[in-house]
Structure 1
Amino acid sequence: MKKMNNRWQSVLLSLALFGLAACTGDFEDINRNPNQVTDDQMDALNYKTGTKFKALQSLVIPVQEHMYQFNESLSGGPFGGYIGATVDTWQTKFETYNPSADWRKWPFANVITETYTPYKGIVNGTEDEVAIAFARLLRVAIMHRVTDSYGPIPYSKLESNESVYVEYDSQEAVYTKMFEELDEAIEILGRNTTLPAEAWSRYDGVYYGNIAQWLKYANSLKLRMAMRLSYVKSDVARAKAAEAIAGGVIEANADNAAMHAAENRTTLIYNDWGDHRVGADILCYMNGYKDPRMEKMFLANDVGDYVGIRIGIDVTSKSQAMSKYSNMIVASDTPYLWFNAAEATFLHAEYELRWGSAETAKTLYEQAVRLSFEERGASGADAYLVDATKKPAPYTDPLGNYSASARSEITVPWETATDGSDTEAVQERNLERIIVQKWIAIFPLGVEAWSEHRRTGYPKLLPVPTDKSGGSVNVEQGARRLPYPVEEYQQNNANLQAAIQTLGAEQQNGDRSGDVMGTRVWWDCKPYNK
């Protein structure tokens, strides 16, 4: 921040001196503070819009440590099988299905409030079509995580209303609107790929002003969202996914989307505070596969083993948990991952598995695994892809309390249907392979991992040992959504009650109802795994 101020002081001093030399008869110019930025100067340097653009980027995957912790480490991460809490005083938490009122507001109210100030500042404050396209794209990137976590959310009414306490849209309506906005942003970005990077590089912490790369990210996000609808609206999913693939998605690690913040503040969460350790689920799969990426992603425990914490327990000793369970590897210069080439390629593989060529799906699946190995700097992808002997390992708790058998027997190599084989069963096993490998490849994107687990039933995760839901969650199937914050009941109750009715009306194949963590959102409609 100090470096930014010094740069601006130099720019402003030059501008002030130029103004005095040109016209010393203007009383306002003579008496203006030479360090004060005028509106014209800020417009010329793209400052007003650029800072709002940067603010929106910081919310896609939150860079503020507390918001990140609530959205990823405490909710999405545990529900996606990635992360478990070590704090022995946390008796009310998301992963045991009884979050406290002050925790519940973070993934909803705090995200919405912080998003719409910079978003409205751009769409109402400039006629620059690229700036508006960025704002639309980033709103979708932020808010699709919110609707995936809750179901119905305020969306269409927020853009034109000063209050955040407005009517909710159904999740189907939110997705419909988001696709419209994505298509608009993609069309505009596609017309501006030759725009010099300098126009946005000062404020762009992802692609440094490279519009062609932003276009690939926008299409990749569209592909992700399209496949989310594969069970609830397969025709829409297929059409939108085909459009995204044809438009050009991320295919190389050089085009991965990641936010390069001045400092990765998750080092506080994982390294300094030690509030979390890697979940048992992902390490059971990777240990079973003898996955070479493991040592690139995680740290061994105090005796040199890679072992995770069972998610959904009440820890008795934080210091013991910190030493006995593996931590993730993260440094202050680690970028915040948004979207990698492996994810886009796995999504494309699933598209082919469902609606295209099984042979092409196999090729894309193997390519995606290789992309993930390349991204992590691991070797041995070819051997990994053909080893049909290794399966996910059972969980052995180093503290002896929560050991469990493996939940899946899925192997890594692609399976080809033969004459007389059950082709549907083979296809389902290959789907499991795609999702399991994508799950490993996109770590630590907890909200996305949780969403894909709910959509497909994969990966198969260990049930929580400590269920404090009071029966509102099917423990075998885990949390299906987050409960709305208490503030919505207090400040927006009429609209909230209508949203809860919509949530129930949209649900299919559910065995819980109401504003509870066991209710299924609109797109979460595949029959549960047997």
Structure 2
Amino acid sequence: MKLYNIKKTTIIISLLIIVSCTDNFEEINTNPNGITPELFEQDFNHIKGGFAPMFNNIQVLTPEWVYQLQQGLNCDIWSGYMATPTPFAGGVNNTTYSLVDGWNGFIWDYAYRNVMFNAYDIANKTKDKYDQFYALSLILKVEGMHRVTDTFGPIIYSDFGSQASIIEYDSQEDVYNLMFEELDFAVAELTTRYNAGEESTFVSTDLSGYNGDYKAWVKFANTLRLRLAMRIVKVNPVLAKLEAEKAIAHEFGVMTVNEDLFKIVSPVYTNPIATISNSWLDIRMSADMESILRGYEDPRIASYFNISSQFLGEYKGVRTGIELIAKADHQDFSGIGEVVSSNEIVLMTTAEAYFLRAEGALRGWNMGGIAQDFYEQGIEMSFNQRGVSGAAAYKVDNVKTPIAYVDPNFSVNNSAPVNNVTIAWNDSDSNEIKLQKIITQKWIGGFPEGQEAWSDYRRTGYPKLFPVLVNYSGGTITTQFGPRRINFVQSERTNNPGGVASGVSKLGGPDNGGTRIWWDTTGPNF
């Protein structure tokens, strides 16, 4: 995407506002009670305006159909969280591995227009001048754009803002290295300001629930570093360990209580999944969620999903990648429940921090404790977050396992369970089984944020998910492993073909959904 296209749109909108609002421009311009440019800058309003679009488009909050294309009909489904009863495009679409360019372009375009552009604009206004804002914008930029590189692989990052005819893509490895450096700056800057007792200038602008608290933002940044460190464990284990231990060793550490979790608090919008599921009936509980949650008799199921309106008293999921004939065949299965009924969209849970530490400890890293304790604390934190009791008995259950999936309307979709592990930690288990348990509980606790769950699934292979029964990829995406990425988008192929070529050259394979990105290797987990 060319920056001048974004600038052009911004300029046109600005001109329309001027034409419509300033017929008496001279009078307004000389009004002694008006806001002068100097006063405008004193309140940092020339900076603050760029933050709201960043917050609101990490996950698109509105319109709901954009969220559906940005995330709902890709990673939310490929993660095993949700399924659709709707046979979009005659059933030949992302859910059956025929990737739809017209859908997937929204992932790239909304991130660059709203997250990357505003991060770039804020940097130009604040770097070396108002570095507290620059630091905060870097954390949001990393949170927003790591999702993009984890979807496509190579992306435009270091050259964003270039006016060259070809805007080069960075390799994913280079993007990650830059993100670690940006987190270094942000953490150091905000830590210094907090320790100096500086009053936050971000209170009125902060849509995270942190109320501008620099220490809370640092803990989020440290946990984000821990997430990214774990992502690269199979391709650069030395750097992964270094960055993970850096996050833990910082004086503020990582998230430890549920008040630390990172969320977007919208003053206007409810989670878009609520509309997509409960009004449009386009998203239902997945067969994987039914198998695992019902098998474990997991009490979180009641906050995650609604009881089926067709099968009263039951939670019933839809299997992904089946032949869908009519929407009515599955639309009355379980919809998404109260977890999406508020104006708070959680993008990183404190439970995730504990599960990351559990995996790190399992790998022998210094995480400040042992794997079992972190694993069990992660379960407890997730139960507490959802206001559910019973964690003490749940976490020591060594009997219950996932159940078979039964489609009451079409038996061809039935399957024996595939993620066959119990819940309780067992020191005699292999590291592989322990990892499967960690990621399975991390997957349950992270619902409904499908982007992170899809990344974990690609990195580890867990939790094990039901394979699709219908695969229209033409052989580019295997039924065994599912989509590994999304191909570069049409807007870039049209406006920046040389850049796309540079991205393909750094991808290491053809530009399709079956090519693995940098950190997604075929190597073992240990």
TM-score range, shorter chain: 0.7 to 0.9
Could you state the TM-score of these two structures normalised by the residue count of structure 1? 0.87
Residue 401 of structure 2: aligned partner: 391
* Distance of 2:165 and 2:303 partners within structure 1: 42
Residue 282 of structure 1: aligned partner: 289
Secondary structure of 2:347's partner? Answer: strand
Instruction: Measure how far apart 1:66 and its partner are.
Output: 3.3
Relative distance call for 1:52 and 1:426 in structure 2 (3 A) is same
Secondary structure of 2:83's partner? Answer: strand
* Distance of 1:185 and 1:31 partners within structure 2: 38
Alpha-carbon displacement from aligned partner over 1:169-208 (angstroms, at most 9, x marks no partner): 1111111111111111111111122666662121111111
* Distance of 1:339 and 1:449 partners within structure 2: 11
Q: Given that residues 226 and 240 in structure 1 are in contact (C-alpha distance below 8 angstroms), is that contact kept between their aligned partners in structure 2?
A: yes
Instruction: Measure how far apart 1:349 and its partner are.
Output: 0.7
Residue 84 of structure 1: aligned partner: 83
Aligned AA for 2:364?
W
**Residue 211 (1) aligns with residue 233 (2):** no
Q: Given that residues 297 and 376 in structure 1 are in contact (C-alpha distance below 8 angstroms), is that contact kept between their aligned partners in structure 2?
A: no
Partner residue of 1:232 out of 231, 235, 247:
235
Residue 105 of structure 1: aligned partner: 105
Residue 3 of structure 2: aligned partner: none
Aligned AA for 1:407?
V
Alpha-carbon displacement from aligned partner over 1:369-405 (angstroms, at most 9, x marks no partner): 0000000111111111111110111111132241111
Residue 343 of structure 1: aligned partner: 352
Residue 476 of structure 2: aligned partner: 472
Instruction: Measure how far apart 1:271 and its partner are.
Output: 2.0
**Residue 59 (1) aligns with residue 57 (2):** yes
Residue 147 of structure 2: aligned partner: 145
Relative distance call for 1:320 and 1:218 in structure 2 (3 A) is same
- What count of residue pairs does the alignment treat as equivalent? 487
Q: Given that residues 308 and 333 in structure 2 are in contact (C-alpha distance below 8 angstroms), is that contact kept between their aligned partners in structure 1?
A: yes
Q: Given that residues 232 and 522 in structure 1 are in contact (C-alpha distance below 8 angstroms), is that contact kept between their aligned partners in structure 2?
A: yes
Residue 243 of structure 1: aligned partner: 246
Instruction: Measure how far apart 1:323 and its partner are.
Output: 0.8
Relative distance call for 1:157 and 1:382 in structure 2 (3 A) is same
**Worse overlay, 390-399 or 191-200:** 191-200
Relative distance call for 1:325 and 1:400 in structure 2 (3 A) is farther
* Distance of 1:373 and 1:28 partners within structure 2: 60
* Distance of 1:471 and 1:297 partners within structure 2: 35
Partner residue of 1:42 out of 40, 48, 58:
40
Instruction: Measure how far apart 1:38 and its partner are.
Output: 3.1
Secondary structure of 2:363's partner? Answer: helix
Relative distance call for 1:519 and 1:281 in structure 2 (3 A) is same
* Distance of 1:409 and 1:279 partners within structure 2: 17
Residue 24 of structure 1: aligned partner: none
Residue 407 of structure 1: aligned partner: 418
**Residue 172 (1) aligns with residue 181 (2):** no
Q: Given that residues 165 and 491 in structure 1 are in contact (C-alpha distance below 8 angstroms), is that contact kept between their aligned partners in structure 2?
A: no
Q: Given that residues 99 and 513 in structure 2 are in contact (C-alpha distance below 8 angstroms), is that contact kept between their aligned partners in structure 1?
A: no
Instruction: Measure how far apart 1:253 and its partner are.
Output: 0.3
* Distance of 2:359 and 2:88 partners within structure 1: 42
Residue 252 of structure 1: aligned partner: 257
Residue 295 of structure 1: aligned partner: 302
Aligned AA for 2:380?
R
Q: Given that residues 154 and 507 in structure 2 are in contact (C-alpha distance below 8 angstroms), is that contact kept between their aligned partners in structure 1?
A: yes
Residue 327 of structure 1: aligned partner: 336
Alpha-carbon displacement from aligned partner over 1:40-86 (angstroms, at most 9, x marks no partner): 23222222211212221112232222332223211111111011122
Residue 204 of structure 2: aligned partner: 202
**Residue 372 (1) aligns with residue 377 (2):** no
Return 5+ residue gaps in structure 1 as ranges. Answer: 1-26, 418-424, 505-512
* Distance of 1:357 and 1:219 partners within structure 2: 15
Alpha-carbon displacement from aligned partner over 1:89-145 (angstroms, at most 9, x marks no partner): 433421211132311211113321222332122111132111000111111111100
Alpha-carbon displacement from aligned partner over 1:222-276 (angstroms, at most 9, x marks no partner): 0000000111110010010000111210010011111100221413222222211
Q: Given that residues 81 and 289 in structure 2 are in contact (C-alpha distance below 8 angstroms), is that contact kept between their aligned partners in structure 1?
A: yes
Q: Given that residues 231 and 526 in structure 1 are in contact (C-alpha distance below 8 angstroms), is that contact kept between their aligned partners in structure 2?
A: no
Aligned AA for 2:48?
G
Aligned AA for 2:270?
N
Residue 498 of structure 1: aligned partner: 502
Residue 270 of structure 2: aligned partner: 264
Residue 446 of structure 1: aligned partner: 450
Instruction: Measure how far apart 1:167 and its partner are.
Output: 0.5
Q: Given that residues 245 and 365 in structure 2 are in contact (C-alpha distance below 8 angstroms), is that contact kept between their aligned partners in structure 1?
A: no
Instruction: Measure how far apart 1:319 and its partner are.
Output: 3.5
Relative distance call for 1:164 and 1:114 in structure 2 (3 A) is farther
Secondary structure of 1:323's partner? Answer: coil
Q: CA RMSD in A?
A: 2.2
Among all aligned residue pairs of Structure 1 and Structure 2, give the percentage whose two residues are the same amino acid.
Answer: 35
Instruction: Measure how far apart 1:318 and its partner are.
Output: 2.1
**Worse overlay, 195-204 or 91-100:** 195-204
Could you state the TM-score of these two structures normalised by the residue count of structure 2? 0.88
* Distance of 1:428 and 1:116 partners within structure 2: 38
Aligned AA for 1:400?
F
**Worse overlay, 357-366 or 476-485:** 357-366
Residue 93 of structure 1: aligned partner: 93
**Worse overlay, 101-110 or 370-379:** 101-110
Partner residue of 1:308 out of 309, 317, 333:
317
Residue 154 of structure 1: aligned partner: 156
Residue 191 of structure 1: aligned partner: 192
* Distance of 1:325 and 1:123 partners within structure 2: 45
Secondary structure of 2:407's partner? Answer: coil
* Distance of 1:265 and 1:239 partners within structure 2: 36
Instruction: Measure how far apart 1:278 and its partner are.
Output: 1.8
* Distance of 2:44 and 2:85 partners within structure 1: 44
Secondary structure of 1:337's partner? Answer: strand
* Distance of 1:462 and 1:228 partners within structure 2: 23
**Worse overlay, 222-231 or 396-405:** 396-405
**Residue 519 (1) aligns with residue 524 (2):** no
Secondary structure of 1:336's partner? Answer: strand
Relative distance call for 1:453 and 1:30 in structure 2 (3 A) is closer
* Distance of 2:278 and 2:233 partners within structure 1: 38
Residue 71 of structure 1: aligned partner: 70
Instruction: Measure how far apart 1:413 and its partner are.
Output: 0.5
